[in-house]
Amino acid sequence: MKVKTQSKKVNKAWLNDHVNDTYVKLAQQEGYRARAAYKLKEIDEHFRLIRPGAVVVDLGSAPGAWSQYVRRRLGGTGAIVALDMLPMEPIDGVRFFQGDFREGVVLAEVEAALGERKVDLVVSDMAPNLSGIAATDAARISLLVELAIDFARNHLQADGALVAKVFHGGGYAELVDAFRANFRLVKPLKPKASRDKSSETFLVGVGLKP
C-alpha cells in the first residue's frame, strides 16, 4: 500500500506541475501539440537554423509539435518530412511516415519523399524507453543519437545542421565527440522550456566535415 500511495503522490505532483507549467499553457494558447515546440523555437532563434525554402526532416516527430513549429516558420515554402514509430495526427504541409528508418523500406519511402533534394536541417527528438538501468539507458540513448548523425551525414547539405536530444550522464562525452567528428561547429544548448529536473540537453552540429 505504501508504494502505491507514494506513486499516487508522485503522479499528483507531476500532474499539478504540468497543469501549471508556463509552456504547457502557452502551447495550449498557441495551438501546439506539446510544450516541446518551445525547445526547438529557442534553439532555432539562437542558431537561426530554419530559413525560407528549407528542407527539414523531423526524426521522432510524434506528437508533432516540432513539425508544427517548423511548418509555421517556413510558411508556405520549403518541405518537411516527419518520421516516427508511433502514429501522428496529420499536419498540413508535412509528409509523415510511420516506421523505423533503420528498415530499408521505410528509409526508401523517406528518400522518395525527399526526391533529389538535399536536407537543410535534421531535427531529432528521439528518446528510448528508459529501463532505469544506467548503462542500458545510456547505450539506448547513444544508439539513437548515432542513428541521427548517420542519417544527417547521408542526407544533409554541406552547410546543413543537425539538432539532437541527448542526456547528461554515461556516454554524453562520447556523443559530443561524435558530433565534433562530423560537424565543423558543435554547441550544446539546454532550452528554458526543458524542465530543470531533466538531464536532457540538445546538441547542435552545423556544417558537415568532409
| Predicted confidence (pLDDT) per residue in 128-172, tens digit | 887 778 788 889 999 999 999 999 999 999 999 999 999 988 899
C-alpha radius of gyration, the chain, whole number: 17
Q: Which residue's C-alpha cell is 515546440?
A: 37
In this structure, the answer to whether residues 94 and 109 fall within a common structural domain is yes
What is the torsional sign of CA 21, 22, 24, 25?
Answer: positive
In angstroms, how far is CA 147 from the centroid of its own chain?
12
Is-contact 83 59, C-beta < 8 A? yes
In this structure, the answer to whether residues 118 and 179 fall within a common structural domain is yes
**Residues 5-12: contacts with CB under 8 Å, at least 24 apart:** none
In this structure, the answer to whether residues 129 and 50 fall within a common structural domain is yes
Whether 205 has a pLDDT exceeding 90, the answer reads: yes
Those residues with Cβ within 8 angstroms of residue 174's Cβ, 6 or more apart along the chain or in another chain: 142
In this structure, the answer to whether residues 16 and 45 fall within a common structural domain is no
Question: Could you tell me which residues are annotated as the binding site?
Answer: 64, 66, 84, 100, 125
In this structure, the answer to whether residues 50 and 101 fall within a common structural domain is yes
The CA distance from 40 to 23, in Å, is 12
In this structure, the answer to whether residues 43 and 62 fall within a common structural domain is yes
Higher pLDDT, 195 or 53: 53
Catalytic residue among 8, 165, 197, 209: 165
Higher pLDDT, 4 or 17: 17
Length of the chain in terms of residues written: 210
Is-contact 43 49, C-beta < 8 A? yes
In this structure, the answer to whether residues 21 and 121 fall within a common structural domain is no
E strand or H helix that includes residue 70: helix 65-74
Question: Coil, strand, or helix at residue 23?
Answer: helix
Instruction: Categorize the per-residue pLDDT at 18 as very low, low, confident or very high, splitting at 50, 70 and 90.
Output: low
Structural domain span for residue 142: 34-208
Question: Could you tell me which residues are annotated as the binding site for S-adenosyl-L-methionine?
Answer: 64, 66, 84, 100, 125
Instruction: Categorize the per-residue pLDDT at 61 as very low, low, confident or very high, splitting at 50, 70 and 90.
Output: very high
Q: How many domains does the chain have?
A: 2
Say whether 165 is catalytic.
yes
